[in-house]
Structure 1
Amino acid sequence: MVTRHLARLQFRADGPAVEGDWTVPDTARDRYTEWVGLYGTDPHVVIRLIEETDGIERVRRTWTSQGEIQGPSA
């Protein structure tokens, strides 16, 4: 079982993504926080903190210009 921690940045919800991938959750969380600070006020940006285990993604946090949503995605 391999768990990866990702930070994913999209400049529009259905657009291409910039993504970082780490084995250490704190590193992914730091990048997520950095991206929120840099891009979080743009009304089109979506930033996600994701945990992936065996190919199954679980979104832990999502940031849009309206703020943050925590917890698993539907």
Structure 2
Amino acid sequence: METKYLARLQFEADGPAVEGEWTLASTAHDRYTEWVGLYSKDPNVVVRLIEQTSGQERVLRIWTTRGETVS
């Protein structure tokens, strides 16, 4: 069972995504933080940090202009 960590950026909630995938959680978290910093002024942007194991995704963090939610 392989675990991957994803950073997913969407410029609108249900829009297409830009995504990066890493085996290290810290690398994905760094990209998540970078994207939040770059796009935090855009009210439509959604950024997620995701753990994926056996095709199942679990959102660890999600950021919108309303703030960050941590699971």
TM-score range for the pair, normalised by the shorter chain length: over 0.9
For 1:4, the aligned partner's letter is K
Give the TM-score, by structure 2 length: 0.98
For 1:40, the aligned partner's letter is S
1:38 aligns with 2:38: yes
CA RMSD of aligned residues (A): 0.4
5+ residue gaps, structure 2, are: none
Give the TM-score, by structure 1 length: 0.94
- Counterpart in 1 of 2:47? 47
The count of residues paired between Structure 1 and Structure 2 equals 71
How much does 1:15 deviate?
0.1
Provide the rounded CA distance (Å) in 2 between the counterparts of 1:56 and 1:29: 19
1:29 aligns with 2:8: no
- Counterpart in 2 of 1:3? 3
Provide the rounded CA distance (Å) in 2 between the counterparts of 1:15 and 1:57: 18
Provide the rounded CA distance (Å) in 1 between the counterparts of 2:34 and 2:51: 18
For 2:46, the aligned partner's letter is V
- Counterpart in 2 of 1:61? 61
How much does 1:4 deviate?
0.3
Provide the rounded CA distance (Å) in 2 between the counterparts of 1:52 and 1:40: 25
